[in-house]
Amino acid sequence: MATRRLPGEAWDELEDVEIGALDVSRPDVEALVVPNELVDGNVLGRFPRLRLVANYGVGYDRIDVGACRAHGVAVTNTPGVLDAATADLAFALILAVRRCLVAGDRYVRAGDWNAHWSAATMLGRDVTGATLGIVGLGRIGSAVARRAAGFEMRVRSVRRTAGDLDELLRECDIVTVHVPLTEETTGLLSRERLALMPDGATLVNTARGPVVDEAALVDELVSGRISAGLDVFAHEPDVPAALYDLPNVVLTPHLGSATVETRAAMTRIVVDNLLAATRGEEPPNRVA
């Protein structure tokens, strides 16, 4: 059973896949396919024959791994194939924010070119030669670092909650977040840490919303002291209304893996995990 049909040709290799919601009891279902949806003890109780939760994505923070383990349910994800797409989006947000691309597009479409263009308006900030701080130097963070080399950026990095995170925040023009959401990383970029960022700095988050203290970030953005490119939010799909009209923030709806090629590759991995499980084999991308 899947909560939605997945894109890509690999999906057609599956037989007897029912598309449905998780709020209905189905005693005959042995595998669930979910895009990081809530799977907790209550959901597991509706599927007594369940043996596999195949997550469509690399992050599985909404799946209660402990409860799955207690019920004898394996959990898989789709690592590796979305690294490049997410790194590309992080850089797209960096460029969009630092060079005022969204505001510029809006003015052109509204026929307001002359009203907003002068030698002293629509001024962004340099990306080339800037200092980039990467919070979480895993696969995606490392892919961002490789892209930064093409922009002659000075790259600093920390792994999750390393002790020099505060120093990185003080010294970087741009900070991009690439850590998984765990108990340890929830609220990692707190109000106190956001205050360490220099005036004019930019925060980019393509990881998970709760890694950043969202209320504190909203306050910083409303003040105009820093800017941000945000693909993730604390309570998706809800976005703080205070952000809608701010010129110093670019908002996207969790598009990190949203390319035709990447989503098809993710489906391929999901299908491979499902087919392995039906053959009684160990799923190749088991996380629990």
Span 250-259, pLDDT tens digits: 999 999 999 9
Instruction: Give start and end residues of each alpha helix (H) in the chain.
Output: 41-45, 65-70, 83-98, 101-109, 113-116, 139-149, 165-171, 191-194, 214-223, 260-278
E strand or H helix at 268: helix 260-278
Q: Per the domain annotation, does 283 fall within a domain?
A: no
Judge whether 208 counts as a catalytic residue. Answer: yes
The verdict on 115 and 68 lying in the same domain is no
216-to-140, 184, 212, 237 alpha-carbon distances in Å = 25, 18, 8, 19
The verdict on 140 and 273 lying in the same domain is no
Does the N-terminal peptide bond of residue 283 adopt cis geometry, omega within 30 degrees of 0? no
Catalytic one among 98, 208, 263, 268?
208
The verdict on 155 and 224 lying in the same domain is yes
The verdict on 224 and 204 lying in the same domain is yes
Catalytic one among 98, 156, 178, 254?
254
The verdict on 170 and 50 lying in the same domain is no
The tokens describing 104, both together, are 């510029």
The verdict on 119 and 17 lying in the same domain is no
The verdict on 69 and 131 lying in the same domain is no
For residue 157, give the CATH number of its domain: 3.40.50.720
Strands 31-34 and 52-55: parallel
Q: Per the domain annotation, does 3 fall within a domain?
A: no
Q: Per the domain annotation, does 284 fall within a domain?
A: no
The verdict on 76 and 136 lying in the same domain is no
Q: Per the domain annotation, does 210 fall within a domain?
A: yes
The verdict on 116 and 73 lying in the same domain is no
Residues 6+ apart with CB under 8 A from 222: 242, 246
37-95, pLDDT tens digit by residue? 999 999 999 999 999 999 999 999 999 999 999 999 999 999 999 999 999 999 999 99
- Residue 4 near residue 19 (C-beta atoms within 8 A): yes
Instruction: Name the domain count of the chain.
Output: 2
Q: How confident is the model at residue 288 (pLDDT cuts 50, 70, 90)?
A: very high
The verdict on 70 and 181 lying in the same domain is no
What's this model's pTM, rounded to 2 decimal places?
0.94
Q: How confident is the model at residue 277 (pLDDT cuts 50, 70, 90)?
A: very high
Q: Per the domain annotation, does 288 fall within a domain?
A: no
Catalytic one among 13, 184, 192, 236?
236
The tokens describing 123, both together, are 């001024």
Q: Which of 148, 128, 143, 151 is nearest to 178 (CA)?
A: 143
The verdict on 56 and 162 lying in the same domain is no
Q: Per the domain annotation, does 213 fall within a domain?
A: yes
**Residue 195 CB neighbour total at 10 angstroms:** 13
Q: How many CA atoms lie within 13 A of 138 on its CB side?
A: 15
Judge whether 236 counts as a catalytic residue. Answer: yes
Domain that residue 35 falls in: 9-80+259-278
The verdict on 76 and 88 lying in the same domain is no
Decide if pLDDT at 161 tops 80: no
Q: Per the domain annotation, does 33 fall within a domain?
A: yes
Q: Per the domain annotation, does 287 fall within a domain?
A: no
Q: How confident is the model at residue 204 (pLDDT cuts 50, 70, 90)?
A: very high
